[in-house]
Structure 1
C-alpha cells in the first residue's frame, strides 16, 4: 500500500514529493544561512524586546564559547534548559548546538520527581534555569551529574530599566520566584561575558549527531528521551517548509509562538521553519493569561500562528479577540491533539483563515502528516504524509490493512528519531525491522490518501466488545453551545466491561446532565453514549494544553 502513495496526487501545486535532506548538514548551518541573509532583520521578540539575527549570532556564539572554553564540555555532552518562552531560550539553544552539544529540553513545570529522572537519565552536565524554577533544581541537584547550574531572571535580556522592573515584580510583588541557593551557580549574563573572552573555534557537526534529547511518553510510565539528530530536525524543517512555503514572503513573516519552544511542535514549526524563512518568532511567555495574550496579539501584525485545540478555543472565548487585526494572517496550524470541528469552524469564520490540522509525534521531529494549506474548510483528517514521508496502517500482526479499515498508523521517513536514549528494548518496541515507527495511534486511510486518527490505542474505550473512540464522543459533546471543554474516558462497568464517561467544563452555567445525554442520544449510537456526566471547573492538562485523559481515568 505504501508503494503507490495515493496521497501524492492530492499534493497542492508547488509541493514536491521529496525534499533535499542534505541541503543543510546541521541545524547550525540553517542558522548560519539565516544570519547571512537576514542579519539585520528581527528574529525573536518577547516582552517588548526584539533581537535581530545578528544579535542571536553574537549572543549564541558567546554562550557556545562559554560552554566549551569555561566549562570544558566535550562534543556530545548534554545541557538542559528549563524555561518558558523568553529571549534566553533561542540564545542558549543555538549556543548549545553551535558548541556541538545536545540540548535536553525540560518542562519548567516539572515536579522534583520528574526533573530528577530527566537530568539523571540524560546525564546532563549543565542546566540553564529560570529563577522561578531554581528551587526545584536545588532539590534534585545532588542526585544528578550536573556540574554547573546557570541561572537567569525573566527580565535579564530586556535591557535597563525594564528588565530590572520585571525581575523585581516577579519576585517581590507576584511572589513567583521561591528562594533558592545553589552553590557555584553562575548568572546567564555573566556566562555570556565569560564566553566573550574566548574565540569560538569551528566545530565539526555531523548530520547524525544528536541535537536534542526530547523527553516523551510520561503518560506510559517513565519518560524516555527521543534522540533527535541534526538530520532529523533539518529534514522535518525542509518538509514543513516545502509544505507551507508556497505563499510565504521571505524575511517578512511574523509567527506567534505561544506554545513553548521546549515542546517539539513549536521548536520545529516555529523556531526552525520560520528561521529558514528569515521570519520573526513573537514569543508569548504565558499564553494561559488569555486576556494578556489577546492584548499582545492586538499589537503584533502577525502572519502565522501555531497552537493546540485548547489554545484556539481559549482565544475564541476571550473577550476582545474579535478586535484583533487578522488581515495579514495566512497560516494557522493546529497540532498536538485533535482539532475539533466546532473550534475550526469558529476560527475560520472570525479570522478568515482555515485552521489546518497537522499530525506528528516527538519521535518524528514532529511533523508526519499535514493537511493541504489550500484546504477550503476543516475536513476532520490529519492530512497527507508530507514530502519524503511514507505512512501505512498495520494490524496487530504487522500486516497492512485494506484502505478504509482501522489499524495502527506507522510512519517512515528521514524525520524519524534515531531511537530512545539508552533504551534499546523500548526502541525495538516502536521501531520494526523495516524501519517503520509504530505510533500507537489508531487510524485509517481513505482512497485519496488522507489519514484520519480514530484514537490512541490506549485511550480506546471497550463497551461490550465495541471500540469507542473518545475523540468522537468529545467532538459530539463539544458541538453543544453550553460546553467550554470536554474529555471522554472509559470507566469500569459491571454489564458492559467499560462505559463512557464525559467530564465537562461548562460555558453556560445552566447546562444539565440531562441536556448532555439528550444531545448524545441524538448524535451517537447507544454504546457510545456517555453513561456518566461529570461537571468540573477545569480539566487536567499538560503544560502545552493537551487534556490528560489518563488523570481523569485514574
Structure 2
C-alpha cells in the first residue's frame, strides 16, 4: 500500500503525518516538558506524588553523580532493573541526561537471563532493587559491570513511610533475600551526593541509541533492539497525535499497571505522557488486585493502559466494578490480542470502550491503533501517523487488500537494528526500511488491519491453517471462561491436533463436552479442539501475556516421557 492509500484513512483530528525531527533528543523533550509543567504531578506511587519539577531536579542529581563520581562515559550502557516505583523515571531520565544508553531489565529475570542481558549489552553499570540483591551478587562478577546502585521499594517515600514500607517488605513479607554487595552504592546516597554538583546534559543526535530494549526471546536468545532518540521521539509524537482529540495536556491521570521496563508502558508513560504533561499512577504489583483496586479508588483517573488478561481479571473483581469511572475517557490495549468478549465486558463495567493498538519492541512499540472516534473491535486499527503497512506472501511479494499474509511496517519508529546482530537484523529489516513483523494479517478496504495470528503460533491441521486467536475468541464468549489458550500438539493422522486450556471464573463450572459443543457450533470442524484441559492458571509473561510456547513445551515433554 502506498502513502496515498493511507492519507484519507485518518479521522478528523488525527494527522496523517508527524515531524519525527521536531526535537533533537529526548533530553530536549524532558527539559521543555519539565519546565512547562514544573508544578504538575508527573508520577504517583504508594501515596507519594512527584512533580515534573522534582523529576527534573532528581534526574539531574543522578546524572551529576554518574558524571562526577564514576568512570562512565556517554554511550556506555546502564542496566536498570526496577519495577513501577518512583525511582524508575528518576534513574532512566538521569542516565539519558548523562548520555548513557538505558538497558531495561526485567526484575523477574533469573540469574541466567540477567547474565545474558548484561553481557550481551556490555553494561558497565546497574541500578537494581534490593529484592534482587542476592541475584545481583551472584551475577555481577560474571559481567563487565563495575558500578552497582541498589534501592529499596520505599526509598522515594517520606522518611517514616519509607521505614515502614521497607521494613514490611523485608521483615514481614520476607521479599528481600540476604545479599552481600559491599561495594554497591545506595540510590538515596547517590542522589544526595549528586545534588552537590550540576548535571551537564549531554547532547545527543536523533540517530544515537537511547535504549537497548530486549525482546522476550520467544524465538531463541533475547536480542537487544536498538531504539534511537528519533525512534522514541517519533513514537511519542505519534501517540500524542492519536490521543490529542481525547486527552488534554496537563489535565489527565493515566493508570500505569504494566511494567515501565516493558516497551509498551515505557513509551506510553515515560515518553508520551511526559510530552503532554500528564499524571501517571504507577501500580507496583498489578497481580495484587485488591491493593491495585484500593489505589484506583483514591484517584479520578481518565486513562487506563492495559492488556486483555488484566482487563478480564479486573472486570471479574467485585470491588473494581464499584469504582467511579465517570472521568474515564480512554482505555488502550496492547501487548497481546484483545478478545472481543473482554472488550465488551470492559465497556459494560466502565462505560469506556477499549482502543486496541498493535506494536512490537522493534517499533518502539506503537505501529497501529484504533482511533477513539472510530473503533473497530477485532482489528488493530490503522497505522500510526507517518507509518506505512503492507502484507506480503512467503516469497516477499506484496499482496492486495483482503489477502492474508505477513504484516510489514515502515516508519520513523522502526528500530535501528538488533545490537551486535547484523544477520538477525537482515532477517527482519530490509534495505528499504520495511520490518517483517512475523504476524499474519489482512488490510481491509477501509485501511483497518486485522491480525489473524502469530506466524509461529499457527496450527497446521491436515494441511489447513488454524489460528489460535480465532479459537480463543470463541472460547472467551463462554461466560464461565476467565482465560484460555489454544495450541497445536503432534498427531499421527492430522499432523497437528488442537488442544485448548481453560481457566474458569471463580465459582463457575464447565465440562469438556460443553466446550466441544460450543466450538462445534461456532467453528469449522477442523478447528474444533480434540483435547480440553482445565487449569487453575496459565503461564504468562510479566505483563500477563499468555505463553502458548510454554504450553507447547509442556505437551512435548509429556510426549517424550511416554
State the SS of the aligned residue for 2:280: strand
State the SS of the aligned residue for 1:435: coil
Q: Deviations 1:123-151 (Å, cap 9, x if unpaired)? A: 11110011011111111111110001100
Q: Deviations 1:362-420 (Å, cap 9, x if unpaired)? A: 00000000011113x55200010011000000111111012111110000000000000
Rounded to whole Å, the distance in 1 between the matches of 2:40 and 2:408 is 40
The aligned residue for residue 466 of structure 1 is 464
Moved more, 199-208 or 170-179: 199-208
Task: Confirm or deny that 1:496 pairs with 2:489.
Answer: no
8 Å CA contact 2:97, 2:200 repeated in 1: no
The aligned residue for residue 252 of structure 2 is 253
Correspondence list, 1:402-413, <5 A = 402-413=400-411
Task: Confirm or deny that 1:419 pairs with 2:432.
Answer: no
Displacement of 1:490 in angstroms is 0.4
The aligned residue for residue 369 of structure 1 is 368
Displacement of 1:14 in angstroms is 1.5
Displacement of 1:292 in angstroms is 1.2
The aligned residue for residue 188 of structure 2 is 189
Rounded to whole Å, the distance in 2 between the matches of 1:318 and 1:26 is 42
The aligned residue for residue 552 of structure 1 is 551
State the SS of the aligned residue for 1:73: coil
State the SS of the aligned residue for 2:233: helix
Displacement of 1:356 in angstroms is 0.7
Rounded to whole Å, the distance in 2 between the matches of 1:418 and 1:250 is 30
Correspondence list, 1:66-105, <5 A = 66-105=65-104
State the SS of the aligned residue for 1:472: helix
Displacement of 1:161 in angstroms is 0.2
8 Å CA contact 2:483, 2:504 repeated in 1: yes
Displacement of 1:4 in angstroms is 3.4
The aligned residue for residue 558 of structure 2 is none
The aligned residue for residue 154 of structure 2 is 155
8 Å CA contact 2:303, 2:331 repeated in 1: yes
Normalising by structure 1, we get a TM-score of 0.98
Correspondence list, 1:221-370, <5 A = 221-370=220-369
Rounded to whole Å, the distance in 2 between the matches of 1:237 and 1:464 is 45
Displacement of 1:509 in angstroms is 4.1
Displacement of 1:10 in angstroms is 2.8
Displacement of 1:323 in angstroms is 1.3
The aligned residue for residue 20 of structure 1 is 19
Displacement of 1:296 in angstroms is 1.0
The aligned residue for residue 2 of structure 1 is 2
Correspondence list, 1:502-541, <5 A = 502-507=500-505, 508-541=507-540
Rounded to whole Å, the distance in 2 between the matches of 1:513 and 1:90 is 48
8 Å CA contact 1:344, 1:378 repeated in 2: no
8 Å CA contact 1:253, 1:274 repeated in 2: no
8 Å CA contact 2:97, 2:202 repeated in 1: yes
Displacement of 1:198 in angstroms is 2.1
Rounded to whole Å, the distance in 2 between the matches of 1:128 and 1:270 is 20
Aligned CA distance change for structure 1 residues 495 and 265 (closer, same or farther; 3 Å): same
Q: Deviations 1:31-56 (Å, cap 9, x if unpaired)? A: 11111111111111000001111110
8 Å CA contact 1:26, 1:207 repeated in 2: yes
State the SS of the aligned residue for 1:530: coil
Correspondence list, 1:108-257, <5 A = 108-257=107-256
Rounded to whole Å, the distance in 2 between the matches of 1:298 and 1:121 is 42
8 Å CA contact 1:298, 1:323 repeated in 2: no
Displacement of 1:3 in angstroms is 4.0
The number of equivalent residue pairs is: 552
State the SS of the aligned residue for 1:247: coil
Displacement of 1:350 in angstroms is 1.6
Rounded to whole Å, the distance in 1 between the matches of 2:290 and 2:315 is 11
Rounded to whole Å, the distance in 2 between the matches of 1:263 and 1:302 is 22
8 Å CA contact 2:216, 2:222 repeated in 1: yes
Q: Deviations 1:406-442 (Å, cap 9, x if unpaired)? A: 1100000000000000000000000012210000001
8 Å CA contact 2:387, 2:409 repeated in 1: yes
Superposition RMSD in Å: 1.0
State the SS of the aligned residue for 1:380: coil
8 Å CA contact 2:387, 2:412 repeated in 1: yes
8 Å CA contact 1:355, 1:378 repeated in 2: no
The aligned residue for residue 431 of structure 1 is 429
Please list every run of at least 4 consecutive aligned residues from structure 1 whose deviation after the TM superposition is greater than 6 angstroms. Answer: none
Q: Deviations 1:229-258 (Å, cap 9, x if unpaired)? A: 010000000011001111222211111000
Which of 454, 457, 471 is the aligned partner of 1:456? 454
Rounded to whole Å, the distance in 2 between the matches of 1:4 and 1:523 is 38
**Structure 2 residue ranges without an equivalent (≥5):** 554-562
Rounded to whole Å, the distance in 2 between the matches of 1:510 and 1:228 is 47
